């Protein structure tokens, strides 16, 4: 994975940063040429760099950062920063670990 993006997940300490800023870091690592202010508007439909390889990198970073495994059924929907942030916001925080819950809609 290019560039350790966000909070360390190797320690047992819960991450203090909010999910949004951590997701921004994931996007910044997956799309190094993307301006920081453009990240919240990033969408696969409009970002030429968001190809299959970038998706692979991004998914790997998100799963590592948030200590979750995205189920196959949820992957097709993850096509923009805002959708992914909403997805992560729908994940329930329990103790030190995030437990995935189904995406709505």
* Residues at the site binding another protein, with contacts judged by CB under 8 A: 43-56, 59-60, 71-73, 75-80, 82-83
CA-to-CA separations, 80 to 23, 37, 75, 88, in angstroms, rounded = 11, 15, 11, 12
* Smaller CB separation from another protein, 87 or 98: 87
* Smaller CB separation from another protein, 45 or 92: 45
Minimum distance from residue 77 beta carbon to another protein (Å): 4
Which residues on neighbouring strands pair with residue 97, listed in sequence order? 94
| 104, two tokens | 């709505």
Minimum distance from residue 16 beta carbon to another protein (Å): 28
Contact predicate 11/4, CB 8 Å:
no
């Amino acid at each position: 994975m290019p560039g350790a993006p966000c909070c360390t997940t190797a320690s047992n300490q819960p991450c203090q940063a909010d999910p949004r800023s951590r997701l921004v870091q994931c996007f910044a690592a997956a799309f190094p040429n993307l301006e920081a202010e453009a990240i919240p508007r990033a969408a696969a439909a409009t970002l030429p760099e968001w190809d299959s390889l970038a998706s692979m990198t991004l998914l790997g970073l998100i799963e590592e950062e948030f200590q979750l495994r995205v189920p196959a059924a949820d992957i097709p929907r993850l096509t923009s920063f805002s959708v992914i942030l909403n997805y992560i916001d729908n994940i329930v925080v329990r103790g030190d670990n995030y437990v995935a819950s189904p995406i709505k809609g």
